[in-house]
Amino acid sequence: MRILVTGGAGFIGSALIRHLLSDTEHNVLNLDKLTYAGNLESLANVENNPRYQFLQADIVDQAAVSDALAQFQPDAIMHLAAESHVDRSIDGPAAFIQTNIVGTYSLLEATRAYWTGLSAERKQAFRFHHISTDEVYGDLHGVDDLFSETTPYAPSSPYSASKAASDHLVRAWQRTYGLPVLLTNCSNNYGPYHFPEKLIPLVILNALDGKPLPVYGNGQQIRDWLYVEDHARALLQVVTAGQVGETYNIGGHNEQQNLHVVESICALLDELAPRQQAGSYREQITFVSDRPGHDQRYAIDAGKIERELGWTPQETFASGLRKTVHWYLDNLDWCRRVQDGSYQRERLGALKEHSA
């Protein structure tokens, strides 16, 4: 297949592209705007693969997307491009409306025009796979409740509301225009190449730097954690074997309280990279004011994707977190280039040189 991945320089997108190029024979076009969260260094080990192409473009730019579709001629689009950080959405929601809603609309319209012009055989085989989040469902209050594919939407933040809106657009384009879509809603991802503003890498790097380890509120919020490479496998399974029009929830079967996540990271660092001064990294844990609209609990029922497509996560939270901590300890140079912004300066220089 020829697969166009939007947002392929981001955390989940880069994991998906590494999987596609390392474990399949598919051809990939990575279309990414390269915002602060887009890092081509996450794809350094595949950038010279002859089956890989990169195009810097914004999904809001419908003309640019249409040109890319015409030239690359994809058999599937896997749409991951999105603004995704809840705290940033609270401070500045406009970018989330623009990328997640307007951008998805523009991508859908460019895709519809492209798909309409395909031969009958290619039109039948084409897939538009929209990758979303469990945060569109709001939060859970019962200790045994789970998000299913039929859970009503109740988003709490500008981020989750914008993703909910994009989900509705995708379903409407299937219902109204017949576009062959697939949707997935995933739980919290973690793993290698995660941008350092997110909880797990932030805690690892702050701990090593001797900084406070911030925990919102009392730290009792519960999340279902999904190792990013397990997610990449699930996404490929859905786009190749999923039923058109269906939604599949992807979860890690790993519910953890935020405080326990932080304490688990501290325990691993105590073992793998002990502090120079005596004591545990736990001494750096600091409780901070809770953020507005903070959901209490997310948990996914991933039974449908297991029953219908045969996918289950390979990593437990313990095994995935150990791999993640090891990766960050082994790749501190990558982390420091993200933290000091040099990854963006180097990237822009390389792109200017390439375009010249």
pLDDT digits (tens, 9 = 90+) for 28-61: 999 999 988 889 999 999 999 999 999 999 999 9
Kindly report the average pLDDT of the chain as a whole number.
93
CB neighbour class for 51 (10 Å; exposed up to 12, middle 13-18, buried from 19): middle
Per DSSP, the chain holds a count of helices (H) and strands (E) of 14, 12
**Residue 185: per-residue pLDDT:** 97
CA angle 300, 295, 38 (to 5 degrees): 75
**Quick one: tokens of 206?**
């702050």
Which of 105, 159, 281, 328 does the annotation list as catalytic? 159
Helices (H), 27-147: 62-72, 86-91, 94-96, 104-116, 120-125
Give yes or no for a contact between 298 and 188, defined as CB atoms under 8 angstroms apart: yes
CA distances to 85, 142, 259, 311 from 200, rounded to whole Å, are 14, 26, 11, 25
Distance CA 49, CA 34 (A): 20
Which among 108, 300, 83, 18 is positioned nearest to 185, based on CA atoms? 300
Mean pLDDT across 298-314: 95
**Regarding predicted confidence, which is higher, 335 or 27?**
27
Mean pLDDT across 148-169: 95
Mean pLDDT across 128-147: 89
Which of 41, 58, 83, 134 does the annotation list as catalytic? 134
The CATH class of 2-190+226-253+297-315+342-355 is: alpha beta
Query: 269-307 burial by CB neighbour count: b if 16+ within 10 A, else e?
Result: beeeeebeeeeebeebbeeeeeeeeebebbbbbbebbee
State the SS3 of 236-267. Answer: HHHHHHCCCCCEEEECCCCEEEHHHHHHHHHH
Q: Would the pLDDT of 355 be above 70?
A: no
The SS3 of residue 346 is helix
Q: Would the pLDDT of 232 be above 80?
A: yes
pLDDT band (50, 70, 90) for residue 353: very low
Distance CA 186, CA 133 (A): 5
**Residue 168: per-residue pLDDT:** 98
Note the pTM of the prediction, 2 decimals.
Answer: 0.92
Domain boundaries, the chain: 2-190+226-253+297-315+342-355
pLDDT band (50, 70, 90) for residue 86: confident
The SS3 of residue 181 is strand
Which of 41, 58, 83, 135 does the annotation list as catalytic? 135
**Residue 352: per-residue pLDDT:** 47
Who's near 341: CB < 8 A, 6+ residues apart? Answer: none
Mean pLDDT across 121-129: 98
pLDDT band (50, 70, 90) for residue 133: very high
Q: Would the pLDDT of 354 be above 50?
A: no
DSSP state of 291: P
Mean pLDDT across 346-352: 54
Helices (H), the chain: 11-23, 62-72, 86-91, 94-96, 104-116, 120-125, 158-177, 199-208, 228-241, 258-272, 303-309, 317-330, 332-339, 342-355
pLDDT band (50, 70, 90) for residue 348: low
Whether 135 sits among the annotated catalytic residues: the reply is: yes
Whether 283 sits among the annotated catalytic residues: the reply is: no
The SS3 of residue 28 is strand
Give the position of tokens 């290698």.
Answer: 192
**Residue 349: per-residue pLDDT:** 55
Which among 273, 256, 257 is positioned nearest to 207, based on CA atoms? 273
Least confident of 50-54, 93-97, 184-188, 295-299: 295-299
Give yes or no for a contact between 38 and 12, defined as CB atoms under 8 angstroms apart: no
